[in-house]
Amino acid sequence: MNTLGKTITCRAAIAWAKNSPLSIEEVQVEPPKSGEVRIKMISSGICGSDDHVLKGELVVNFPLIPGHEGAGIVESVGDGVCSMKPGDKVLILIIPQCRECDACLHPKGNFCYKQDVLPCSGVMLDGTSRFSCRGQKIYHSFRTSSFTEYTVVPEIAAVKIDDAAPMDKVCLISCGFPTGYGAAVNSAKVTPGSTCVVFGLGGVGSAIVMGCKASGASRIIGVDINEEKFPRARALGVTDCLNPNKLEKPVQEVVMEMTGVGVDFAFEAIGLVDTMVAAWNSCNNSYGVCLIAGLAPSDAQLSLEAPKILSGKTLKGVCLGDYKTRDCIPQIVTDYLQNKINIDPLVTYQLPFNQLHEALELFHSGKA
């Protein structure tokens, strides 16, 4: 069936309102316009940011098709697209790389000005949507939307990857893995023999642990309220596991006692203000570095004891591992294919699209 230039009808998961169950519906997906790509989605991860969207913790427009951590095959391209062609394997990118804005042109920048996360408009760069259902416009999620059989994204929010890439695994390299691994190896540049603490041992936190271990950290403390995650965390490189709910004093005080002087590197991979403050207070006061990789709710405010900033430690935000996405993500896929990194331990379940509700239940149960 030739779909070139035609509207495609397919299945997609729609969130009609915040805190409402996802509904699998037939949707219409328009052809890509100039500078856009229509992609047949093959696999998608479930990221914590998707959960923030569904709970209404981020300012978004409903109804929308959620999901952003995806791998697929290009079905068709709009005018002017030259970096990919139909049949190419691609990853979609929550943080695009336009290669024109200040962030893209600066050697240390990666938060492209054409991103649609903060804030999230839910529409393409021309201000319109490519999705509809029963005659109603459906918004995009972060200009990606992976919980659908077909999606349309800007060319700058997708990148061609190696044809040998296993599509059931590499979707994690679209967001979760580089967000965590890159926070350690690319942003923090964790040093050999250093001490680290990681708050949150989900997908991103686990990838941070992998990055700390690969960088030669001598001690990695993992913090999570779900002790079911501890065995896997230890297998990835965590040396000490802490459940804050079972400690007699605040976790940052325990970390300080364990290390004597505080950690060299602290990572927050949850998106809660309390754990951000705890990570900050776990750092060595003179040279510790605290990196925030978790996305907090839109209305959250972070409050720190101002005098303690003077001592010299650093607080840094990090988005997608500080990687320039289109430049760097394909190489991470190649490194995986060459066994230089291993994302397989991060894949805990694989379910068909029609079991998306079961997948979300596994996500919320903490078993994934």
205: nearest Cα among 91, 328, 292, 322: 292
Instruction: State how far the Cα of 15 lies from the Cα of 208, in Å rounded to an integer.
Output: 30
Instruction: State how far the Cα of 107 lies from the Cα of 105, in Å rounded to an integer.
Output: 6
Instruction: State how far the Cα of 69 lies from the Cα of 348, in Å rounded to an integer.
Output: 15
Instruction: State how far the Cα of 290 lies from the Cα of 278, in Å rounded to an integer.
Output: 10
Given a contact cutoff of 8 angstroms between Cβ atoms, the answer to whether 62 and 18 are in contact is yes
C-beta neighbour count of 36 within 10 angstroms:
27
Instruction: List 221's β-bridge partners, or say none.
Output: 197, 240
Residue with tokens 């990789």: 293
Instruction: State how far the Cα of 88 lies from the Cα of 39, in Å rounded to an integer.
Output: 9
List the catalytic residues.
47, 49, 52, 68, 175
**How far does Cα 221 stand from its chain's mean position?**
22
Question: 111: which 2 tokens?
Answer: 């938060």
Residue with tokens 């009808």: 9
Given a contact cutoff of 8 angstroms between Cβ atoms, the answer to whether 61 and 139 are in contact is yes
Given a contact cutoff of 8 angstroms between Cβ atoms, the answer to whether 219 and 290 are in contact is no
283: nearest Cα among 188, 208, 179, 178: 188
Strand-strand pairing, 314-317 and 289-292: parallel
